[in-house]
C-alpha cells in the first residue's frame, strides 16, 4: 500500500490518480496511523509554502510519523515542495524541514533569467539510480519552483538540471528520495519514474 501524505497540498489528487492508474493501492494519510496498517512506501507531494507546509505537518503529528516510518525503513518520495521538505532548512519562511537529508533549500537569486523556474527541462541521471530505470538520458520533466535543493553531500545528488547553473533536481538514496519536478505532469517518463518508485 502506497501512503500519500495529505497536508493540503494542491497536487495531491493528481499524484493519487497517477499511482492509482499504475495499479497500486493507495491511502491518504491525514494523521499518524497505527503501525499495523500495511503502508509499504510513502509519497510526500507538495505545492505551496515551505513554512506553512511544515506548520501543518508539525501540528498534525505527521512530521513525527514520517520520521518514525523512515527510521523503521519505510521508503519515501518527496515531490516538488515535498522534496524540499526532506532537507534540514528552507529559506522559504526560514523554516526547518524534516531533516531526512542533510542540506538546505535556497531561493533562486536575481541573476537567474526568470523566477519561478517553470516549464519543461532536462534531468541528467548522475548515479544510475533505480528511479531512472527505462527512462532515456536527459529526458524532460515539468518544473514549477522558485527554491531549489542544495544537499550537503554530493552522494545525495541523484539527478541535475541546468537553469543558469546546475542544481540538484533529484536527491536522496535508496530509501529517501525527492524529485523537484512534477512526475504526475511529466508525461510517460514521469509516470515511469513513479512506477519505478512504487515497484
Axis-axis angle for helices 187-198, 12-21 (nearest 10)? 80
Per-residue model confidence (pLDDT) at position 12: 83
Mean pLDDT lowest among 27-31, 49-53, 166-170: 27-31
- Domain of residue 130, residue span: 2-198
Name the strand (E) or helix (H) holding 15: helix 12-21
**Phi, psi (deg, nearest 5) at residue 197:** -65, -50
Q: 159-169: per-residue pLDDT in tens?
A: 999 999 999 99
Q: What's the pLDDT at 4?
A: 94
How far, in Å, CA of 116 to CA of 107, rounded?
10
Mean pLDDT of the residues in the chain: 94
d(CA 144, CA 164): 15
Instruction: Fill in the DSSP letter of residue 107.
Output: B
Percent of the residues in the chain that have a pLDDT greater than 90, as a whole number: 86
Domain holding 177: CATH number?
A: 3.40.50.880
Instruction: Give the strand pairing for 150-151 and 41-44.
Output: unpaired
What is the average pLDDT across 11-31? Answer: 91
Q: At what angle do helices 62-71 and 50-60 cross, to 10 degrees?
A: 80
Q: Give pLDDT, residue 47.
A: 85
User: What is the distance of C-alpha 70 from the center of its chain?
Assistant: 14
60 CB neighbour count, 10 Å cutoff: 18
Query: How sure is the predictor about 109, in pLDDT bands with cuts at 50, 70 and 90?
Result: confident
pLDDT value for 126: 97
* Cα–Cα distance measured from residue 54 to residue 155, given in angstroms and rounded to the nearest whole number: 26
Tell me the percentage of the chain whose pLDDT exceeds 70. Answer: 96
Q: Cα(12)–Cα(9) distance, rounded to whole angstroms?
A: 6
Separation CA 10–CA 92 (nearest Å):
17
Predicted confidence (pLDDT) at residue 25 exceeds the cutoff of 80: yes
Active site residues: 80, 182, 184
Mean pLDDT of 79-90: 97
Q: Please determine, for residue 45, whether its predicted confidence score (pLDDT) is greater than 70.
A: yes
The number of folded domains in the chain is 1
* Residue 189 pLDDT exceeds 90: yes
Say what the pTM is. Answer: 0.95
Ramachandran class of 89: left when φ > 0, alpha when ψ lies in -120 to 50, beta otherwise: beta
Amino acid at each position: 500500500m502506497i501512503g500519500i501524505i495529505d497536508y493540503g497540498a494542491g497536487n495531491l489528487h493528481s499524484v493519487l490518480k497517477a499511482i492509482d492508474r499504475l495499479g497500486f493501492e493507495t491511502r491518504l494519510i491525514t494523521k499518524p496511523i497505527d503501525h499495523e496498517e500495511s503502508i509499504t512506501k510513502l509519497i510526500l507531494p507538495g505545492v505551496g509554502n515551505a513554512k506553512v507546509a511544515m506548520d501543518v505537518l508539525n501540528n498534525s503529528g505527521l512530521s513525527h510519523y514520517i520520521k518514525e516510518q523512515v527510521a523503521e525503513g519505510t521508503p519515501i518520495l518527496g515531490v516538488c515542495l515535498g522534496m524540499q521538505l526532506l532537507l534540514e532548512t528552507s529559506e522559504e519562511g526560514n523554516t526547518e524541514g524534516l531533516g531526512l537529508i542533510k542540506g538546505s533549500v535556497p531561493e533562486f537569486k536575481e541573476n537567474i533569467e526568470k523566477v519561478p523556474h517553470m516549464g519543461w527541462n532536462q534531468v541528467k541521471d548522475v548515479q544510475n539510480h533505480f528511479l531512472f530505470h527505462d527512462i532515456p538520458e536527459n529526458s524532460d520533466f515539468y518544473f514549477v519552483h522558485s527554491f531549489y535543493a542544495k544537499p550537503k553531500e554530493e552522494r545525495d545528488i541523484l539527478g541535475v538540471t541546468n537553469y543558469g547553473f546546475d542544481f540538484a533536481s533529484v536527491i536522496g538514496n535508496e530509501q529517501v528520495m525527492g524529485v523537484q519536478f512534477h512526475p504526475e505532469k511529466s508525461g510517460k517518463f514521469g509516470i515511469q519514474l513513479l512506477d519505478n518508485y512504487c515497484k
